[in-house]
Amino acid sequence: MTQVLTGHGVFGEYLLRIRREATSVCHHCEEEEDTAQHTLEFCPAWAEPRRVLRLEIGESLAPEAVVAAMLRGRQELAAIRTYCEQVMLAKERAERNRERARDPSRTSQRPRNTTAPPRPP
């Protein structure tokens, strides 16, 4: 959910900015600019989870409407969290697959949010 709110995640615009991608294109629909807002509100790849989200929080997915829905109640917050987790996990999985295709030597990767074991001095 934090990735969608901050725009720091598997979005073409962000990956271009941190030099992990050559363009900001959306790999899921070929839109020129893949941003957090594009993912949340427009990308056709996420139409079904978005439909479910809109049933829970209302039609508007503008940033201020999403934050207002999060503050409105637990049910709305849970719906937003579910959408973000579902979509971001799929985007992360697709990104890992693209990275492996670019560099086949990357067959195993340490899971995110873990640290390497300490090395002896």
pTM for this entry = 0.80
* Cα–Cα dist 36/48, whole Å: 17
* Cα–Cα dist 90/17, whole Å: 21
Give 115 or 54, the one with higher predicted confidence. 54
Cβ neighbors of 94 (< 8 A, separation 6 or more) are 10, 27, 28
DSSP letter for 120, please.
P
pLDDT for the residue numbered 119: 65
Residue 95 token pair? 């990104």
DSSP letter for 121, please.
-
Question: 39-94: per-residue pLDDT in tens?
Answer: 999 999 999 999 999 999 999 999 999 999 999 999 999 999 999 999 999 999 99
Nearest to 15 by CA among 2, 29, 25: 25
